[in-house]
Amino acid sequence: MSLRPGDQIVHKAAWLYYTHGLRQDEIAKRLDISRASVAMYLRRARETGIVTITASTELFASDVLARQLEDHFGLEGVWIADGDAYREAEDEIPVLAANVFQGMVSNGQRVGIAWGRTVYAIADAMSFADLRDVTVVQLCGNLGAPYSYRPDQCTMEIARRLNARGLNFYAPLILSTEALASALRAEPVIREQLAGVAECDVALFSAGVADEDAHVVRCGAITAAEVRALRRSGAAGVIAGQMIDAAGAALDCDYNRRCISADLADLKSIPRRLMVVQESAKLEPLQAALAGRFATHLVLTRAMALSLSDLMSMGSA
């Protein structure tokens, strides 16, 4: 059992007030709301029993776990998919993430989109919005793979759902040589697109595995032998097409130097960054991405949240 999405901010206010002992003005600053709203949410928490639930280990356990993950990893928001009798938690992720993401986007904003099965599933689950003056930009170069979740496809589908303008990245994700990649980054059009990433207000992405099942392997950008070599060099995950190590730093490798993608520092400068992790096999890249502080907001399954909680208890996260 979990809270309705609209009650999450009530739970967060109660958590900060009763568990952390923050004053109402401190809560207002933390949640970017008025002090009057904090008072209203605390009153609603008492009236609906959420105050009691906040300390419960049984009722609304996923919401308590979400607050604990927020505290530990310094995240602004965590949403956990529990699943139910009709749908597995992994299948619930795209709908939940689509609702969270659309709630983060406002008129006039610039939105950065990565790619992959998870991101495209989110796009497919989105309702059609009537936003104004929103621009959706691709965060990394393209792939020639015949999949619906190519970077350009993800970007344009989300732009269509948001009634937004879509800007594709007309460059390959991986070049054959470092010199060619460097020369392409210096081209004015590409340079301008890469520089524009830091101007985004919101980002949507997932964390990918760094193994033979990685999208970059399946799409033919690199071989299985090459990704095995990258793992031996310390690759723990993939963010926006780039390899990161267990600490969340960009791996110093030939592959990354041949990659046309957003600078990871620019990605992390985007104020609101929603990372969505759907598959249980992605625990290692999820840990790496959290260590690198790539996300401000996170959507994941209860199984993954519990795995993170176990690692926290062991001091490994």
Per-residue pLDDT of the chain (317 residues; tens, 9 = 90+): 455 555 778 888 888 887 777 888 888 888 888 888 888 888 888 887 766 644 444 435 677 888 899 999 999 989 998 865 456 777 889 988 998 999 899 999 999 999 888 999 999 999 999 999 999 999 999 876 555 567 888 899 999 999 999 998 888 999 999 999 999 999 999 999 999 999 999 999 999 999 998 888 888 888 999 999 999 999 999 999 999 999 999 999 999 999 999 999 999 999 999 999 998 899 999 999 999 999 999 999 999 999 999 999 888 77
Given CATH 3.40.50.1360, say whether it is the number of domain 72-313: yes
Domain with CATH 1.10.10 in the chain: 1-59
- DSSP percent split of the chain into helix, strand, coil, nearest 5: 50, 15, 35
Structure letter (DSSP) for residue 259: B
Q: Taking the CA of residue 258 as centre, how many other CA atoms within 13 Å lie in the half-sphere pointing to its CB?
A: 11
Domain with CATH 3.40.50.1360 in the chain: 72-313
Contacts of 138 by beta carbon, 8 Å cutoff, 6+ apart: 112, 113, 115, 151, 152, 154, 155, 167, 168, 169
Q: Residue 304: which of 207, 202, 228 has the closest Cα?
A: 207
pTM score of the predicted model: 0.83
Phi-psi label, residue 211: left if phi above 0, alpha if psi -120 to 50, beta otherwise? beta
Residue 122: strand, helix, or coil = helix
CATH code of the domain occupying 1-59: 1.10.10
- Rounded to an integer, what distance in angstroms lies between the CA atom of residue 84 and that of residue 63? 16
- Rounded to an integer, what distance in angstroms lies between the CA atom of residue 300 and that of residue 155? 22
pLDDT of residue 60: 53
Contact between 281 and 62 (Cβ < 8 Å):
no
Contacts of 191 by beta carbon, 8 Å cutoff, 6+ apart: 185
**Residue 317 in tokens:** 């996260």
- Rounded to an integer, what distance in angstroms lies between the CA atom of residue 218 and that of residue 231? 16
**H-run or E-run covering 289:** helix 283-291
